[in-house]
Amino acid sequence: MEEKVKGSCLCGEVQSTMQGPFNKFYQCYCDRCQKKSGSAFASLIFTSFDKISWKSGQALVKRYDLPNAERFSNCFCVNCGSQVPYVSRDGNFLIIPAGYLDDDPKIAPSANIFWDEKPCWFEQGQKATTHVSYPV
């Protein structure tokens, strides 16, 4: 079943629609994804390159291809810094940062990759107390 999923950046200038169903959903703990996300891992959904229609803000998307890497890229809205979807350097895949999506992607993460590179505080963080808002 084909399904359209909407996505937008934090400031709302960049907007697009992605056509599901999606192929893969990985959580990547590599050092590079920690840098680009500012967090323990990047949540990345993969599909084929042509599954995106841009609605607005494409001119605000800045692409950075890490020079010494074979495939690592970071694409983000220059207005708010949010990661946005991009086509892989070989042109084959669309990579969608899961947090960019406004709708249910109808796929769940199936693998934690580059697991040995996860930050030293990650497992303790999983056991930390939970709160619906800021802790008092």
List of residues contacting Zn ion (CB under 5 A)? 9, 11, 13, 28, 30, 33, 77, 79-80
Shortest approach of Zn ion to residue 130 CB, angstroms?
26
Shortest approach of Zn ion to residue 8 CB, angstroms?
8
Q: Which residues pair with 65 in a beta bridge?
A: 73
CB 126 within 8 A of CB 41: no
Nearest to 50 by CA among 7, 97, 87: 87
Shorter beta-carbon distance to Zn ion: residue 21 or 81? 81
Shortest approach of Zn ion to residue 38 CB, angstroms?
13
Shorter beta-carbon distance to Zn ion: residue 69 or 106? 69
Element (H, E) at 95: strand 93-97
